[in-house]
Chain A
Amino acid sequence: TQTVSQSDAHVTVFEGDSVELRCNYSYGGSIYLSWYIQHHGRGLQFLLKYYSGNPVVQGVNGFEAEFSKSDSSFHLRKASVHWSDSAVYFCAASPGSALGRLHFGAGTQLIVIP
Chain B
Amino acid sequence: NAGVIQTPRHKVTGKGQEATLWCEPISGHSAVFWYRQTIVQGLEFLTYFRNQAPIDDSGMPKERFSAQMPNQSHSTLKIQSTQPQDSAVYLCASSPRTGGNYAEQFFGPGTRLTVL
Contacts and interface: CB of A to CB of B under 8 A. Distances in A.
Interface of A: 32-34, 36, 41-46, 49, 51, 90, 92, 94, 96, 98-107
Contacts, number: 66
A99 B33 contact: no
A33 B109 CA distance: 22
Interface in B20-44: 31, 33, 35, 42-43
Interface of B: 4, 31, 33, 35, 42-43, 45, 48, 50, 55-56, 58-59, 91, 93, 99-110
Nearest to B109: A43
A104 B43 contact: yes
A98 B58 CA distance: 11
Given A36-B107, A104-B42, 11 more contacts: A34-B103, A43-B110, A49-B103, A51-B103, A98-B56, A99-B102, A101-B56, A102-B35, A103-B45, A104-B43, A107-B42
B104 A46 contact: yes
A100 B33 contact: yes
B37 to A, nearest CB: 9
User: Chain A CB within 10 Å — which of B33, B102, B105 has the most?
Assistant: B105
